[in-house]
A and B are shown apart, each in its own frame.
Chain A
Amino acid sequence: MNDLLIAGGIGMAFGCALECAGLGDPPKLAGQFYLRDFTVLKVMLSAMLTAMLGVFWGGRLGMLDPSTFYVPETYLLPQLVGGLVFGLGFVLSGLCPGTSCVALASGRIEGAATMLGLFAGVLLVGLAFPAIESFYRSTPHGPLTLQHLTGLPYGVVVALVTVVAVSMLAWIAKREAAR
């Protein structure tokens, strides 16, 4: 019960943040792919940076225990193909699963259409699962992380990711200022 209260609370904060950033607005999201509107990248990179640094420093200062946090398992090929298919759908609908809910909640009917499509999509995979199961389970690498892959210490990977992400954000800011 307590767990579900947390789920609801986190969900509300999540929805609120997405809405405030304007991620419930399909033309705005699609604008990212035409390099007209960089909101998606800005929000995603800042959020990821914050969480990554928070996890690292929270762990370092003894407030969190990152070793117990869930690391998504890596399945090379399914995730590569999944990402490509997902990206295609992203441009078509101008929404992603989370933001389709935000779009609907802020009164946009496109959100409902995308949610319906999402539902149909997972249903399709579930029904066709016996046929695609071998692909779904192919190239498993377990909960592989960048630090395991490269053999670098956690801190170094964090620094590298920070530098890359901040430079990207700085490049975007410069590009927008030049306009």
Chain B
Amino acid sequence: MRALRPYAEPHATGVCLGLVLLVCFALTGQGLGASGAFASVASGVIAAVSPETAVHSAYFRSYLQDGSPWTAWLVVEIMGVLVGAAASAALAGRTRLTFVRAVRPSGGRLLAGLAGGMLMGVGAALARGCTSGLALSGGAMLSVGAWIFMVALFLAGFLAAPLVRRLWP
């Protein structure tokens, strides 16, 4: 196994990320996002499985009214994220195939990931955005809601951290 190459300097990478966000604003008038893609896909699945449920819930309806949820802007963007991250990790020799080789995470870690994902899904849906869509993009536009979300996120994170210490030795 090759030695993993170190990650880039965080401040410089942060500036690059900020520039990507800026370009995104300039080209589309909106910021980046991630959780919206999950909501689009979920709405698409529900609409395909049971159209009645989809029409009944204003949440799903809001994601279905602008054309196909499968080609929503954020869904395509997330596809791009997958491709870009895979390329970057492969080029830098940082790909770690945990599902094929050693260092496989424990079942508990996977379960925690699943539960954490679910909580984040609920939280992001309630807050209308996640760390990228609301905290980062909204924070840069000085949105009050984005800052409240960010403060609440870190508050809960720091408070809950000692409780799940066993997960992160």
Contacts and interface: CB of A to CB of B under 8 A. Distances in A.
Q: Verify whether A and B have any Cβ pair under 8 Å.
A: yes
Contacts of B100: 107
Interface residues of A, number: 122
Contacts of B168: 27, 30-31, 34, 94
Contact of A48 (B38, B95, B139): B139
Contacts, number: 511
Interface SS of chain A = helix
A163 interface: no
Most buried by A among B11, B98, B164: B11
A97 B27 CA distance: 23
B145 A50 contact: no
Nearest to B40: A122
A124 B82 CA distance: 25
Contact of B34 (A13, A98, A121): A98
Interface SS of chain B = helix
B76 A8 contact: yes
Given A130-B56, A146-B142, A47 B15 contact: yes
Nearest to A148: B144
Contact of A129 (B27, B58, B115): B58
Given A19-B94, A125-B126, A129-B59, A93 B28 contact: no
A107 B98 CA distance: 6
B22 to A, nearest CB: 4
8 contacts: A39-B7, A50-B15, A72-B141, A81-B152, A105-B89, A122-B124, A133-B58, A141-B145
